[in-house]
């Protein structure tokens, strides 16, 4: 595949970026908090409505609050056309969430929510809660969260005057996400269809990666809550585990996708370990151990950082080693890895607000789906060509191993492998042929002339279209015959040998004759016949023909057969 393919892949990524830029992927901005406080010291004993510090956020402001108790204050604008009605923020574990509206005269109106009371909404991993009634005299809204376990919950909080899950932009975003998931199912269907042609782990892992990304999009966009009733904690666990499973599938896919010669032994061992570690870290984060609570979402980010670095190092090393496949993967995965990097560093670094980088994540998904699918198809056809070439070579070698190199006839091995099928197909006559005094031909005329004689005999035996001819070794041949008049046909071939050899091997000044032992064993007489048993009986007849003067045929048709009796009647003669 030429360089144009890579240019096309880049163009597709750019087009995808423009498509994403034109679609509203998030809900329009609401009212941000005027300040955020963290730590119990910020809350007077009388609660948020007590006079004093609750109205002044000048102290202990921490935009990356990681303490278990937080407070956010919203100053309501007096000129707003519609009063705020809903609070919307990022999902995260907490014990209790209190919303308090304070009027101008200091009168509070509060509502308390637990995790099972809030409403999950799509667009992102979000939930919303309805505010206490706001009147024209309301001036401040306080949000107090007890035992907060995820710092993004307080950093992403906003107030809205209308239901944030029912806006036009939100509907457009859901339609886009549905189309994106449909696009991602295409490679899975390709993998299923291709599996019937070539059962390679590459297709299985690619289907796993694609399915994992479908789950990631459904969970990270919140599309899943439109169809499946989930609790906040259940959604959080699924979201965390989906990332771990995706990383594991991605690691194993990369290991099977990149050409073996372009993947170092270190990378081959690191990739599965990185995937397993991603799963372990996801399980730990999903279980929400109290000891990790002060870290908020940073633990998972720190744990995934070495995984991200491992992928980057492996891809760069494979590219340096000349991998063709990794070029597709790099084009397809760079936007996706950038999205993950943006999310990880926003949680790790001590400045800025945490972000999931969803627009870049969706761009990465589209790039991964289109470009990596092209790469998998290219790799699939390469592997299929290699497999077909290997099968052809194996068949050629098998053909050579079952053929006599001098005469081109089948050898004993070829017939042994399928003797029962041949006997059942009607090959019931076995003619064993041995050239008389062949040793003297080699001694007087030389081995080259002897080889010519063997080749002429082979050509004669091929002429019966209802027979299979083989060379057993030396000057000995075997005919498997079916049809009528098999003994007469065998004798006709034997009689043709002296005339044809004399005519075609002019260097030879002696007559070449042949002796033959013919056995006909109907399948009903011996349904489980073994070639070795029938060969032994034909060999006895051939020995008797030689003992009776050579240049003749002895034959018999058996109605019943006992190998042990026949073995006692004679033995194979010495070479003549």
Task: Give the residue numbers marked as catalytic.
Answer: 475
State how far the Cα of 202 lies from the Cα of 290, in Å rounded to an integer.
40
The total of other beta-carbon atoms located within 10 Å of residue 436's CB is 21
* 474 vs 24: CA distance, rounded Å: 84
Q: What share of the chain is helix, strand, coil (3-state, %, to 5)?
A: 55, 15, 30
- Say if strands 35-38 and 96-103 run parallel, antiparallel, or are unpaired: unpaired
Of 70, 231, 41, 57, which Cα lies nearest the Cα of 147?
70
How far apart (Å, rounded) are the C-alpha atoms in residues 512 and 172? 93
The DSSP bridge partners found for residue 75 are 140
Calculate the dihedral angle through the C-alpha atoms of 417, 422, 427, 432, rounding to the nearest 10 degrees: 0
Quote the CA–CA distance of 212 and 181 in Å, as a whole number: 11
State the SS3 of 4-55: HHHHHHHHHHHHHHHHHHHCCCCCCCCECCCEEEECHHHCCCCCCCCCCHHH
Helix axes 358-367, 325-348, angle to 10 degrees: 170
Q: Which of 571, 570, 567, 551 is nearest to 434 (CA)?
A: 551
DSSP 8-class letter at 403: B
Tokens linked to 144: 């107090």
Q: How far from each other are the two terminal CA atoms of the chain, in whole angstroms?
A: 63
- How many angstroms from the chain centroid is the CA of residue 151? 37
Q: Which residue in 140, 118, 120 sits closest to 129, CA to CA?
A: 118
**What is the CA 112 to chain-centroid distance, rounded?**
48
Whole-angstrom distance, CA of residue 31 vs CA of residue 87: 9
Backbone φ and ψ for 48, nearest 5 degrees, come out as -70, -20
CA 458 – CA 470 distance, rounded (Å): 8
Phi-psi label, residue 477: left if phi above 0, alpha if psi -120 to 50, beta otherwise: beta
DSSP lists the bridge partners of residue 467 as 481
Strands 514-520 and 553-557, by their bridges, are parallel
Q: Which two tokens stand for residue 39?
A: 């730590």
Compute the distance between CA of residue 168 and CA of residue 171 in angstroms, rounded to an integer.
5
CB 498 within 8 A of CB 512: yes
Q: How far is CA 537 from CA 418, 451, 489, 520, in A?
A: 20, 28, 20, 10
| Contact (CB, 8 A) for 205 and 253 | yes
């Amino acid at each position: 595949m030429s360089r144009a393919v890579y240019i096309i892949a880049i163009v597709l990524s750019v087009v995808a970026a423009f498509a994403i830029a034109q679609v509203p992927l998030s809900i329009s901005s609401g009212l941000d908090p005027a300040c955020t406080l963290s730590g119990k010291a910020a809350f007077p004993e009388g609660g948020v409505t007590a006079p004093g510090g609750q109205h002044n956020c000048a102290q202990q402001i921490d935009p990356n609050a990681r303490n278990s108790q937080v407070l956010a204050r919203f100053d309501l604008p007096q000129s707003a056309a519609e009063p705020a009605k809903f609070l919307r923020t990022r999902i995260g574990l907490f014990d209790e969430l209190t919303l308090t509206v304070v009027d101008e005269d200091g009168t509070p109106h509060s509502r308390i929510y637990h995790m099972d009371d809030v409403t999950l909404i799509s667009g992102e991993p979000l939930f919303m809660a309805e505010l206490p009634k706001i009147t024209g005299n309301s001036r401040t809204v306080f949000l107090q969260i007890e035992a907060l376990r995820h710092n993004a919950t307080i950093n992403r909080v906003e107030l809205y005057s209308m239901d944030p899950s029912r806006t036009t932009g939100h509907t457009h975003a859901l339609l886009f996400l549905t189309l994106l998931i449909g696009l991602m199912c295409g490679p899975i269907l390709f993998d299923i269809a291709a599996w019937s042609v070539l059962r390679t782990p590459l297709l299985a892992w690619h289907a796993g990666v694609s399915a994992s990304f479908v789950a990631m999009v459904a969970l990270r966009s919140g599309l899943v809550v439109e169809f499946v009733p989930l609790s906040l904690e259940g959604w959080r666990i699924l979201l965390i585990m989906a990332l771990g499973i995706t990383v594991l599938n991605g690691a194993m896919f990369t290991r099977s996708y990149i050409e073996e010669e372009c993947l170092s032994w270190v990378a081959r061992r690191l990739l599965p370990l990185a995937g397993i570690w991603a799963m372990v870290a996801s399980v730990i984060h999903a279980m929400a151990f109290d000891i990790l609570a002060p870290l908020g979402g940073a633990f998972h980010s720190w744990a995934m950082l070495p995984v991200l670095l491992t992928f980057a190092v492996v891809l760069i090393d494979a590219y340096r080693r000349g991998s063709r496949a990794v070029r597709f993967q790099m084009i397809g995965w760079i936007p996706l890895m950038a999205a993950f990097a943006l999310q990880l560093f926003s949680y790790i670094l001590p400045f800025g607000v945490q972000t999931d980088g969803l627009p870049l994540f969706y761009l990465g998904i589209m790039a991964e789906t289109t470009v990596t699918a092209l790469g998998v198809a290219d790799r699939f056809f390469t592997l299929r060509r290699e497999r077909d070439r290997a099968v052809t070579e194996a068949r050629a070698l098998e053909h050579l191993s079952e053929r006599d190199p001098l005469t081109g006839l089948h050898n004993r091995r070829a017939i042994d492998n399928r003797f029962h099928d041949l006997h059942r197909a009607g090959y019931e006559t076995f003619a064993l042929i041995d050239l008389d005094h062949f040793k003297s031909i080699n001694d007087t005329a030389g081995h080259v002339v002897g080889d010519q004689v063997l080749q002429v005999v082979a050509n004669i035996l091929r002429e019966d279209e209802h027979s299979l001819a083989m060379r057993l070794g030396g000057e000995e041949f075997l005919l498997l015959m079916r049809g009528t008049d098999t003994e007469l046909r065998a004798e006709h071939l034997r009689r043709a040998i002296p005339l044809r050899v004399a005519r075609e091997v002019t260097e030879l000044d002696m007559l070449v004759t042949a002796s033959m032992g013919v056995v006909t064993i109907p399948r009903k007489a011996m349904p489980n016949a073994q070639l070795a048993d029938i060969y032994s009986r034909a060999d006895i007849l051939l020995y008797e023909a030689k003992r009776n003067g050579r240049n003749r045929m002895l034959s018999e048709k058996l109605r019943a057969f006992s190998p042990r009796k026949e073995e006692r009647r004679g033995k194979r003669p010495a070479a003549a």
